[in-house]
Amino acid sequence: MSEFFQQLINGFAFGSILALIALGYTMVYGILRFINFAHGDVFMLGAFAGFYLAPKVATVFPIPSITGGLAVMAISMAICAAIGIVIEKLAYRPLRKRPKLTVLITAIGVSLLIEYTCQNSHVFGASPKSFPTLIPAYPIKLGALSLNSNQLVVLGVTLALLAALRFIVLKTKIGMAMRALAFNPEAAALMGINTDVVISFTFGLGSALAAAAGILFAVNYPSIDPLMGILPGLKAFVAAVLGGIGNLPGAALGGIIIGVTETFVAGYISSTYRDAIAFGILILILLIKPSGLLGKKEIEKV
Amino acid sequence: MNIRHAKTFLFGALALSFLVSLGANYFNSYWLFISYDIGINIILAVSLNLINGYTGQFSLGHAGFMAVGAYTAAVITNQFGELNTFLSGTVFLGALLAGGVLAAVAGLLVGIPTLRLRGDYLAIVTLGFGEIIRVVLQNMNAVGGARGLSVMHGWTNFFWAFSFAAVTVYVVTALVHSTYGRGFIAVRDDEVTASAMGINPTKYKVTAFVIGAFFAGIAGGLYAHSKQFLTPGGFGFMQSISFVVMVILGGMGNTIGVIIAAVLLTLLPEFLRPVAEYRMIIYSLLLIVLMLTRPQGLFSFKKSPAK
> What's the ipTM?
0.82
Q: Does A100 touch chain B (CB under 8 A)?
A: yes
Give the E-state strand segments of A48-161 in sequence order: 129-130, 139-142, 145-148
Pick B87 or B301 by higher pLDDT: B87
Alpha-carbon distance A160 to nearest alpha carbon in chain B (angstroms): 30
Domain extent for B37: 3-240
**Cross-chain residue pair B128–A283, CB shorter than 8 Å:** yes
pLDDT digits (tens, 9 = 90+) for B53-79: 899 888 888 999 999 999 999 999 999
**Cross-chain residue pair B117–A35, CB shorter than 8 Å:** no
Which chain B residues are closer than 8 Å to A273 by Cβ?
Answer: 135, 139
Tell me, yes or no, whether B110 lies in a domain. yes
Q: Is the peptide bond before A128 cis (omega within 30 degrees of 0)?
A: no
C-beta of residue A51 within 8 angstroms of C-beta of residue A132: yes
User: Distance of CA B208 to CAs A39, A83, A200, Å?
Assistant: 31, 39, 39
Tell me, yes or no, whether B305 lies in a domain. no
Q: Does B125 touch chain A (CB under 8 A)?
A: yes
User: Distance of CA B279 to CAs A107, A161, B107, B270, B285, Å?
Assistant: 19, 39, 32, 10, 10
Radius of gyration, alpha carbons of chain A: 19
**Cross-chain residue pair A106–B291, CB shorter than 8 Å:** yes
Tell me, yes or no, whether B247 lies in a domain. no
**Cross-chain residue pair A237–B124, CB shorter than 8 Å:** yes
Stated pTM of the model: 0.85
Tell me, yes or no, whether B28 lies in a domain. yes
- Checking if the pLDDT of B306 tops 50, the result is no
Pairing of strands A145-148, A139-142: antiparallel
Q: Does B241 touch chain A (CB under 8 A)?
A: yes
Which chain A residues are closer than 8 Å to B117 by Cβ?
Answer: 286, 290
Q: Does A130 touch chain B (CB under 8 A)?
A: no
Beta-carbon contacts of residue B294 (< 8 Å; ≥ 6 apart): none
Which chain A residues are closer than 8 Å to B304 by Cβ?
Answer: none
Tell me, yes or no, whether B113 lies in a domain. yes
Tell me, yes or no, whether B267 lies in a domain. no
Tell me, yes or no, whether B41 lies in a domain. yes
Please give the tally of structural domains in chain B: 1
Q: How confident is the model at residue B307 (pLDDT cuts 50, 70, 90)?
A: very low
Tell me, yes or no, whether B296 lies in a domain. no
Q: Does B109 touch chain A (CB under 8 A)?
A: no
Nearest CA in chain B to A34: B120
Strongest mean pLDDT among A33-37, A124-128, B123-127: A124-128
Q: How far is the C-alpha of B143 from the C-alpha of B18, rounded, in Å?
A: 33
| Of B191, B110, B117, residue with least CA distance to A286 | B117
- Checking if the pLDDT of A251 tops 60, the result is yes
pLDDT at B227: 92
pLDDT digits (tens, 9 = 90+) for B240-282: 988 988 998 888 888 899 999 999 989 988 888 888 778 888 8
Nearest CA in chain B to A279: B128
pLDDT digits (tens, 9 = 90+) for A18-29: 999 999 999 998
Beta-carbon contacts of residue A187 (< 8 Å; ≥ 6 apart): A180
Pairing of strands A223-224, A145-148: unpaired
pLDDT at A252: 93
Question: Measured in whole angstroms, how far is the alpha carbon of residue B139 from the centre of its chain?
Answer: 25
Facing A104 at nearest CB: one of B113, B120, B237:
B120
Q: Does A282 touch chain B (CB under 8 A)?
A: yes
